[in-house]
Structure 1
Amino acid sequence: METTLQLTIDCADIQRLVAFWSEALGYVPEPPPGGHVTWREYWAAAGVPDEELPVGAGDTPESIVDPAGHGPRVWFQQVPESKTAKNRIHLDLKVGGGRDVSLAVRTQRVTTTVERLVEAGAGVLRIADEPDMGHYAVVLQDPEGNEFCVV
C-alpha cells in the first residue's frame, strides 16, 4: 500500500493562506477533480450532503499542489479558534542550496526569498546569522502566525 503525505494547516482565512503558501512554495490552487467547476460541486456529485458542508466550503480552492507533482498537497482547514502557541511542527523552505554553496550566496538566496515573502504577508520573527557555524536562516510567520523557516 502506498502512503502519500498531505500537510494540513488550520486557519481562519483559507483564501489568504492559499494565496500566501502558493507564493511561498511555488504551488498552485488545486483544481476540482473530474471536470467539476468547484469542489462543492464535486462533493455534491460524490454524495456529500449539503448540510455537512459549511457555508462557502468548496466554492474556492482550499488546497494547493506542486505543479510538478513532487511535493505534498497542502490543505487549509478552517477552524474557529486562532493560533495560541508555538507550532510543534513547522516547514523549512530550503532555498540556500546547502553547505556546498558559499555562505554569502546562501545568505543572499535566503534574504531574497524572505523579502518576497514579507511582501506577500509574512512577518520576520528572528534571524539566525551564525557565520562561525556557516549558518544563516530566518524564522518567519505566515499571515496567521504559523512559524516557518527559510534556510
Structure 2
Amino acid sequence: MEQTVSRQEASEAVQNHGWRYLLGALQMSVTVRTLAQAISLAADAVAVCGDDADRHLRVDVRPDRAVFTLQSLDRATVTTRDIELARRISATADKSGFPPEPGIGTGAPRSVQLLEIAIDALNIAGIRPFWKAVLGYTDETGAGGPEDPLVDPVGQGPAIWFQQMDRARPQRNRIHIDISVPHDEAPRRIETALAAGGRLVSATRAPAFWILADMEGNEACITTWQGRDS
C-alpha cells in the first residue's frame, strides 16, 4: 500500500541512488551528451514506472542533461511508491551508461534545486486571487485555502507562497526567492553567495533556511528539508 513518508525517510531512502529530497519531491539529474540520449533516458524511465508514470513522474530533457522529478500528484508529497520508482529509474539509467550525478564533488556548477517565490502580505486572502489570476496559476493539490500556495499548472514556473506580516515594512523588500537545495549542498551554496558579495542576515532557523541578502538588502533564502516537522 502506498504511504506518505517523512522527510528524513525519503532522503535516506534515495540519496545513495543519486536522488535528493527537496521539500516534497525527489529529484535527480543525469548528464548526457545529446538531446536524443536525454529523450531515450526519459522513455526508459516512463517504461519502468509503468502505469504510475503519469501520476508520479516529470522529466525535463535538455541536450546536456535529463532532470527527473518524482512526487505523488494526488498527495503533493513523496510516498513509498515514489521511492520505489526512484530506485527503478536509477537502475535503468546506470544500465544505460548514464549513472546519476548528485552534483556535489562532480565539478558541476550545481545539481538539482527548486525555486519558490515568497510574498509578504498583511492581507493574504486579499492579494492571493490577484497573483493566481495574473500568473495563470492554480491551487496546489489538496490546498485551495485563502493562504495556501499557488502552483503553475504546467510546471514551468516556481511555486508562490505567502508569508504573513504583522505590520507594514515599507523600507524592506516584500518579495523574495527561496532556493531549495540538497541538504548536503547548502553550505557550499551559502559560502559561494557570501564570497560573491552577499551577507548572512539570519541563521536562526538553519538548517531549514538561511536568510541572505545582496549589498542593497534584497533577500533570498537558501532552504533545505532539514530542521522541519517530520
* Greater RCO (Cα-Cα under 8 Å, separation 6 or more): 1
Normalising by the residue count of structure 2, what TM-score does the alignment of the two structures yield? Answer: 0.22
Normalising by the residue count of structure 1, what TM-score does the alignment of the two structures yield? Answer: 0.33
